[in-house]
Amino acid sequence: MAADGSNMTHAVIETAVKERNRLHTGRSRITALVVLGFLGAIGLFLALVVGKADANTAPTCDGRTMTRHSECRIWSNHGGGGTYSYDEMIDRRESSHQVWRVVGFGGAALAVVLMAVSATKLDPKRPWGKPVDASCPRCHQPTLREKLTVHSISKGRTTYRYSGIVTLCTPVCGFTSVRQRQR
Ligand SMILES: [Zn+2]
């Protein structure tokens, strides 16, 4: 760490500048909304397609469609085994459909909540970081803002994390600095 300390200082500042850029162009927000929208769609798919209530279709037993009077023998090492009638097999199927509906609608609802949160949190109009109570040493304006920033690098299976509190002035001024968090 000591040998490449100044490189890492630079990398942490770069990370902060990129993060501010992604926030201000709205790219962070779009990415978050797209990912969450996709997860929400998966939730709806599970709830509406995989978990669709279907009390009238004949159940299957080991891949074969059952008839009204057939029975299904289920072997199980961890409970739930036994012999089931046609109607009992429908109940089994419908209770697993219900689990998918709960999981699917729950996941979709969570995705919607997180979309609302990220739409506000990642609003491009929101400034990056917190204001600093000092004026910029370069342009002498009170425009400095700071934020704890983590830069991580993966080498093989190990991830190295370098963090520091980065202070940035406006992109026009371009002043940057980084300091270590108090331990
Ligand atoms: Zn400045």
Residue 102 within any structural domain of the chain: yes
Distance from the alpha carbon of residue 37 to the mean position of ligand 1, in angstroms:
38
Contacts of 138 (CB under 8 A, 6+ apart): 169, 173, 174, 175
Each residue of 29-46: pLDDT tens digit?
A: 999 999 999 999 999 999
Distance from the alpha carbon of residue 172 to the mean position of ligand 1, in angstroms:
8
Residue 38 within any structural domain of the chain: yes
Distance from the alpha carbon of residue 134 to the mean position of ligand 1, in angstroms:
11
Residue 180 within any structural domain of the chain: no
Residue 59 within any structural domain of the chain: yes
Pick out the chain residues at pLDDT < 70: 1-5, 182-183
Residue 20: name the closest of 168, 153, 162 by CA.
168
Residue 32 within any structural domain of the chain: yes
Residue 92: predicted pLDDT: 92
Residue 6: predicted pLDDT: 76
> What total number of domains does the chain contain?
1
Distance from the alpha carbon of residue 126 to the mean position of ligand 1, in angstroms:
19
Q: Cα–Cα distances in Å, from 103 out to 6, 38, 39?
A: 48, 15, 12
Residue 73: predicted pLDDT: 92
The pTM score is: 0.70
Distance from the alpha carbon of residue 31 to the mean position of ligand 1, in angstroms:
30
Range of the domain at 95: 27-123
Residue 64 within any structural domain of the chain: yes
Residue 3: predicted pLDDT: 46
Distance from the alpha carbon of residue 136 to the mean position of ligand 1, in angstroms:
5
Residue 147 within any structural domain of the chain: no
Distance from the alpha carbon of residue 54 to the mean position of ligand 1, in angstroms:
65
Residue 140 within any structural domain of the chain: no
Distance from the alpha carbon of residue 6 to the mean position of ligand 1, in angstroms:
21
Distance from the alpha carbon of residue 13 to the mean position of ligand 1, in angstroms:
15
Distance from the alpha carbon of residue 133 to the mean position of ligand 1, in angstroms:
13
Identify the residue whose tokens are 């790219």.
27
Distance from the alpha carbon of residue 9 to the mean position of ligand 1, in angstroms:
19
